[in-house]
Amino acid sequence: MLDILPQLLVNGIITGTLLAIPAIGFTAIFAVLRFPNFAVASHATIGAFAGYAANVWLGLPAELSLVAAFLVAGLVGVVSDEIALRPLRPYGALTTAIASIALTIVLENVVRLIFGNGLRGYDLPLVRDWRVWDIRIGPQQIENFALALILMAVVFAALRFSRIGKAMRAVADNPALAELKGIDPVRIGRLTAFFGMGLVGAGGMLLGLGTSIDPLTGFRFILPIFAAAVVGGLGSIPGAALGAMVVGLGEEVALLVLSPAYKSAVGFMAIVLVLTFRPRGLLGERAY
Amino acid sequence: MSLFEARDVVAGYSPTDMILKGVTVTAAVGEIVAIIGPNGAGKSTLLKSAAGQVHVAKGDISIDGRKITGLRPRDVAAAGVAYVPQEQNVFTTMTVRENLEIGGYVDAAGSRDRIDAALRRFPVLGEKARDAARTLSGGQRQLLAMAIAMMVAPRVLLLDEPSAGLSPVAARDMFATIREIADGGVAVVLVEQNALDALDLADRAYILAAGQNHTEGTGADLAADPDIRRTFLGGRQTGDQR
């Protein structure tokens, strides 16, 4: 049985890297706006379908379609937040989180209305998997992995070096002090909703590239995304990347002892274990 | 003429709970004004009202004749008022240098030289420029909070308990820094629990009680007044606390 472990580890690392993108979006929104936005489910779907429309309808390559996924999900993210969630934020994180579940149902059904319920696949060249020793890996998987790493590097560089990135971190750290220093928290909130949901949309497409997509694509990933953010420490961006790796590897390696039907239980287990032994998450102290 | 003026300010956290019931405080260029008084007198609320964090129901707050009452905190900051809260006054997850950069957010170009100057002026911050602010000691954090406030070259500096939690030596250094800042042409209004030291430092002081002005005068006069000493300063002589 252990002979498939190397294959599972490779699969886990790739899944974890792809999962990190929407998990970073989710945790960034939590850090700045202070509520868990479960509308990430529908935004991952919207990104996947926006990428599909760019790729199949407009004939753009996957890399450019990923930009479309980011932009459309980001725009829907900022507009829907403005209309549905921002007015509720003064009533607390729980109220807003519940509203975000309602929002995700609405948006998911808008996707259903436009694209229907059927499964759809991206227009990608058919290529044979590579075989290295006994490990099979597809060129598309490698490309997705590389795209996810590039996106992550851009996010880290933006937060570390750009003026807006630093302002976002300041608001996440101490919103009252940030406002005293002249930072407009509403503007930063909008930018975070745009970039956060943009990342979720790009992540939705990256996760969908390896398989087919349907209106429930995002919903299926909500648990591992949430688990990754909680395991890493809610609000911590390196934590989300680390948590995604833990969940991705955990889901794959669990296949040694679990039937694939129970794969999603790994996310639950990871949340339970972390909340029991390290409630602030693996990197809960670090905000970026 | 006063640079900073708060006139007949009525302010509080809810319409039925006004902490300040008509307080007047002024400060001129280069002047250090201390606000002292018992707990609950409204000292911190006065600073928060000036900084735009607490709703002002009546009265006016102005800087150089320009009304800042009712402005949002970031607009008050843009008007030249820097407020240093007593707690949570640095960004703990960001480095010391990044804290200073955020301090100069509204004037990024102008603050670049000030950041280097601050890191040279406070060598302890210079040594830790790349460390997260959460690794600083209490005294270093207060110093950083003050340095952050100075990044926009404010005209008015509002300090809430700058010596809280500091050792006597660190507090003395802090007061010396405040005097230097005031001598640079800044009007400083500070709230202090450590009343005798505050009177020693301040050019003038106001005593607040129950949300109203009780007494005002020079630091030396108030410290020498036996009634004031008995009622507000614990009956000790100036300097007893050191």
8 Å CB contact of B74 and A184: yes
- List residues bridging with A213 in a β-sheet: A120
* Residue numbers of chain B with a pLDDT score lower than 70: 234-242
8 Å CB contact of A288 and B72: no
Range of the domain at B42: 4-87+154-232
Q: What is the pLDDT of residue B170?
A: 84
Q: By the CB < 8 Å criterion, does B110 face chain A?
A: no
Q: What is the pLDDT of residue B49?
A: 95
Q: Are B118 and B147 in contact (CB under 8 A)?
A: yes
- Out of A172, A177, A179, closest to residue B89 by CB: A177
- Out of B88, B105, B152, closest to residue A183 by CB: B105
Contacts of residue B199, Cβ cutoff 8 Å, sequence gap at least 6: B34, B36, B205, B219, B220, B222, B223, B233, B238
Q: Is B139 within the bounds of a domain?
A: no
Residues of B in contact with A178 (CB under 8 A): 91, 102
Chain position carrying tokens 């975000």: A100
8 Å CB contact of A174 and B78: no
Q: Please write the tens of the pLDDT for every residue from A93-152.
A: 999 999 999 999 999 999 999 998 889 988 877 777 878 777 788 877 888 888 889 988
Query: What angle, rounded to 10 degrees, do the helices at A139-161 and A62-80 form?
Result: 50
Residues of A in contact with B47 (CB under 8 A): none
Instruction: For an interface test with B, give the residue of A174, A180, A234 to mutate (most B CBs within 10 A).
Output: A180
Tokens of A62: 């996957």
- Residues 127-146 in B contacting A (C-alpha not used; CB under 8 Å): 134
Chain position carrying tokens 């725009």: A75
Complete DSSP assignment for B81-103: EEEE-SSS-S-TTSBHHHHHHHH
Q: What is the pLDDT of residue A124?
A: 79
- DSSP code, position A81: I
Q: How far are the Cα atoms of A3, A132, B186 from residue A6, in angstroms, in the given order? A: 7, 11, 66
Q: Is B103 within the bounds of a domain?
A: no
Contacts of residue B191, Cβ cutoff 8 Å, sequence gap at least 6: B34, B35, B36, B43, B44, B46, B47, B159, B160, B161
- Out of B90, B92, B98, closest to residue A166 by CB: B98
Q: What is the pLDDT of residue B47?
A: 95
Q: With a cut of 50, say whether residue A30 has pLDDT above it.
A: yes
CB pairs under 8 A between A and B: 68
Q: Please write the tens of the pLDDT for every residue from A254-265.
A: 888 888 888 878
Distance from CA of A156 to the nearest CA of B (A): 14
Q: With a cut of 50, say whether residue A288 has pLDDT above it.
A: no
Tally the domains of chain B. Answer: 1
Instruction: For an interface test with B, give the residue of A173, A187, A234, A280 to mutate (most B CBs within 10 A).
Output: A173
Is residue A284 very low, low, confident or very high in pLDDT (cuts 50, 70, 90)? confident
8 Å CB contact of B72 and A180: no
CATH code where residue B159 lies: 3.40.50.300
Q: How far are the Cα atoms of A283, B60, B155 from residue B66, in angstroms, in the given order? A: 46, 10, 13
Q: Please write the tens of the pLDDT for every residue from A214-270.
A: 999 989 889 999 999 999 988 888 899 999 999 999 998 888 888 888 887 888 888
Residues of chain A with pLDDT > 90, as a percent, come to: 59
Q: Please write the tens of the pLDDT for every residue from A184-199.
A: 999 999 999 999 999 9
Complete DSSP assignment for A58-69: S---HHHHHHHH
Contacts of residue B53, Cβ cutoff 8 Å, sequence gap at least 6: A176, A180, B73, B83
Q: Is B227 within the bounds of a domain?
A: yes
Distance from CA of B145 to the nearest CA of A (A): 10
Q: Please write the tens of the pLDDT for every residue from B198-228.
A: 888 999 999 998 888 898 888 888 888 888 8
Q: What is the pLDDT of residue B96?
A: 96
Number of C-beta neighbours around residue B70 at 10 A: 12
Answer CATH for A2-116+136-277 from 3.90.930, 4.10.860, 1.10.3470, 3.40.50: 1.10.3470
Q: Is B105 within the bounds of a domain?
A: no
Identify the closest residue of chain A to B87 by CA–CA distance. A177
